[in-house]
Structure formats: structure tokens, C-alpha cells
């Protein structure tokens, strides 16, 4: 349950990061509202997940998921150029996140 909550919170991090960029410095109301809601839900979920998952592991997984999805969305939407190297680096982040989960499960 806590790992699921952490993953959802990481996805919401990508949502708020993308909405933050689209808000153009909080001048566009729609993205600004999405940013605020996603930010509160993402941080709340991270805080709850940290009840069971160690802080360092939880934070690294949360950031890794959020950063990876934010970059992938930017490449898919065309707002950031895609490249094989970027995709390989994102896969590296995902592999590290999975590794942290496996190490945590072993303890």
C-alpha cells in the first residue's frame, strides 16, 4: 500500500511540474489550479508513504518517477527534443528506482 501510494505521488509530481511550466509564472489560471492540487496531493502522498518507507529511499523514488515522467511527457509532446541518449538515461533512473525498491524489500 505505501509503495503504491509513493508511485502515485511520483506520478503527481510529474503532473505538478508540467502544470507549473504551463502556468507561465502563475499567470494562467487552469494550469495554476492543476499545479496546486497536484502539489498538495503529491506531497501528502509522499508524507504518508514515509511512515513506512525510509525517507531517503522514498524521496529518491518519488523524484525519480516524477523526473522521468516529466521528461518523457516533454519529449512526447514535442516541447523538448527526444534522443536515444535521453531515453537511455531515463531508463537508468527507472532501473535505480527499481533497485531501491528491491533493496528495501530485502531488509
Phi-psi sector, 78: left (phi>0), alpha (psi -120 to 50), beta: left
Per-residue pLDDT tens over the stretch 24-65: 999 999 999 999 999 999 999 999 999 999 999 999 999 999
Q: In the chain, where does DSSP find H-type helix?
A: 2-22, 29-49, 55-77, 84-106
Given pLDDT bands bounded at 50, 70 and 90, which one contains residue 84? very high
Torsion sign across C-alpha atoms 94, 97, 103, 107: negative
pTM for the full model? 0.90
Residue 6: predicted pLDDT:
97
Amino acid at each position: 500500500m505505501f509503495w503504491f501510494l509513493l508511485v502515485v505521488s511520483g506520478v503527481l509530481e510529474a503532473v505538478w511540474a508540467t502544470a507549473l511550466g504551463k502556468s507561465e509564472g502563475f499567470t494562467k489560471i487552469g494550469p495554476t489550479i492543476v499545479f496546486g492540487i497536484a502539489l498538495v496531493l503529491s506531497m501528502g502522498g509522499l508524507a504518508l508513504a514515509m511512515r513506512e518507507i525510509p525517507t531517503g529511499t522514498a524521496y529518491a523514488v518519488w523524484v525519480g518517477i516524477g523526473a522521468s515522467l516529466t521528461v518523457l511527457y516533454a519529449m512526447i509532446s514535442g516541447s523538448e527534443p527526444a534522443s536515444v541518449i535521453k531515453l537511455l538515461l531515463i531508463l537508468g533512473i527507472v532501473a535505480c528506482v527499481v533497485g531501491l525498491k528491491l533493496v528495501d524489500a530485502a531488509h
